[in-house]
Amino acid sequence: MAMPCTEMPVDPTAPPPKVIFSFGMGADSTSILLRWLEDPTSRDFELDELALITAHTGSEWDSTRTAMETHVLPRLAAANVRFLQVARSQRHATIDGGGIVVLDDSRHPTSLYIEGAYTLWDELTEAGTVAQASGARLCSVHSKGAALDPVIARITRGQPYRHVIGFEANELGRAAKDALHNTDLRTGEYPLIEWGWDRATANAYTESIIGTTIGRSACTFCPFTFANRSSRAAALERFRVEPHVGASALLMERIAIALNPAQGIVAGKRLTDLVREHGQLDTVLDALDADLRQREHALYEVRRILRPRKTDPTKLGNAARSVRIRGRGSRGAMEGLLRRLADDGVRKGLIEAETGDDGILRVYQHRRGPVFPTVERFFVVAPALAHEKEHERFDQWWADARPGGRRAVAA
């Protein structure tokens, strides 16, 4: 049963684990675990000194659950290895463990709790965005790192520990970055790099032990999955088998695109386009349509301030966004409202209405200008999952930046 991290019972007489393995459930970390279980000479600690910990984003492929429950959990139980499964229960976790739940803490695990609690899908759709392929994998930092750190602190109880991560032999850069987080208590360790094992070697070893390989562990909408040709093909095939999973990824993307046409799950390109071009994923598109037909929609007002780059004012530096909800109802009702707004505003010469190449109607009151800073303001209908969001100083920023924008249509 899930319990808050802050209420997690810690037996004061039990020695804290000396080795913590952040178990990612993918090919790399599974090969490490199997080797440790099969070959005691591959490790310099006893299995009762080890604790595995997995942070669930709540957005994992179901095939990962099947693989873990079939091939890994029985082996952990047989070897009496401690396995903790944790997740966020709310968007913002705290360093002392608030907002984090322990889904399972067992030496005889039988179930993988991939549903998590507060999911990354929830977080991203509420923010009206998608996971970003550029930058520092913030989605992972928020949904996994934030859940792992307090639990690790709680079970190690101030004692030094070795923190094992499954970076493979070609991931020296990621290991070097991780080592920057070492402290007096924490020492990062990377067995695959020590062993010189790349992904192919890890897969070959896993297959030699369990007779098959373990697929990629990732969120069903992970931009890194879709950025790579072979993992993209595998993900689209998984969508074909599980159309509702594909539809939920497209739903997230649709909300993000409505609020910002430049968004897209595939490194700024649209997953929806990939699915359409695929030719055999009509069931995914049908599932999305069915979902949209019954889902509550909202009329959103979006304002965006686009600021210049400090080193080059002709280039975009950063943007601030305000999202407000101006109405809620069925999809038909909200689209009717937007069309009336468009007809009325266009007739009066106050706005421009435009259906983008994404097929989404936006009604602009301000179009962004060519010089930064500039602003834009538009109205759009989308599934009512994105929350209102606006920085407390947004109106002041808007007033300051507005001269750079222009009305959509000269009054």
CB of 130 to ligand SF4, least distance (A): 9
CB of 121 to ligand SF4, least distance (A): 9
Strand intervals (E) in 178-289: 186-189
**In whole angstroms, what is the distance from residue 380 CA to residue 363 CA?**
7
Given the complex with ligand SF4, which of 8 and 266 has the nearer CB atom? 266
Given the complex with ligand SF4, which of 129 and 156 has the nearer CB atom? 129
Q: Closest by alpha carbon to 238, among 28, 67, 56, 30?
A: 67
CB of 116 to ligand SF4, least distance (A): 11
CB of 142 to ligand SF4, least distance (A): 8
CB of 165 to ligand SF4, least distance (A): 14
Given the complex with ligand SF4, which of 65 and 137 has the nearer CB atom? 137
**In whole angstroms, what is the distance from residue 360 CA to residue 317 CA?**
27
How would you list the strands of the sheet with 3-4, edge to edge? Answer: 3-4, 100-106, 82-88, 50-55, 19-22, 161-164, 186-189
The set of residues, in sequence order, having a beta carbon less than 8 Å from that of 124 and lying 6+ positions away, is: 130, 131, 139, 221, 252, 256
Q: What are the structure tokens assigned to 188, written together?
A: 């990062």
Given the complex with ligand SF4, which of 33 and 130 has the nearer CB atom? 130
CB of 140 to ligand SF4, least distance (A): 4
Question: Are the C-beta atoms of 87 and 55 separated by less than 8 Å?
Answer: yes
CB of 340 to ligand SF4, least distance (A): 38
Q: Closest by alpha carbon to 364, among 302, 294, 318?
A: 302
Given the complex with ligand SF4, which of 156 and 220 has the nearer CB atom? 220
Given the complex with ligand SF4, which of 222 and 338 has the nearer CB atom? 222
**In whole angstroms, what is the distance from residue 405 CA to residue 373 CA?**
8
CB of 281 to ligand SF4, least distance (A): 20
What residues make contact with ligand SF4 under the rule CB under 6 A?
Answer: 57, 120, 131, 137, 139-140, 143, 218-219, 222, 224
CA atoms within 13 Å, Cβ hemisphere of 234 = 16
**In whole angstroms, what is the distance from residue 403 CA to residue 395 CA?**
14
Given the complex with ligand SF4, which of 178 and 354 has the nearer CB atom? 178
Q: What are the structure tokens assigned to 112, written together?
A: 């993988």
CB of 129 to ligand SF4, least distance (A): 12
**In whole angstroms, what is the distance from residue 255 CA to residue 247 CA?**
12
Q: Closest by alpha carbon to 125, among 390, 392, 332, 382?
A: 382
Given the complex with ligand SF4, which of 62 and 390 has the nearer CB atom? 62
**In whole angstroms, what is the distance from residue 240 CA to residue 224 CA?**
19
Beta bridge mates, 19 = 50, 162
Given the complex with ligand SF4, which of 75 and 91 has the nearer CB atom? 91
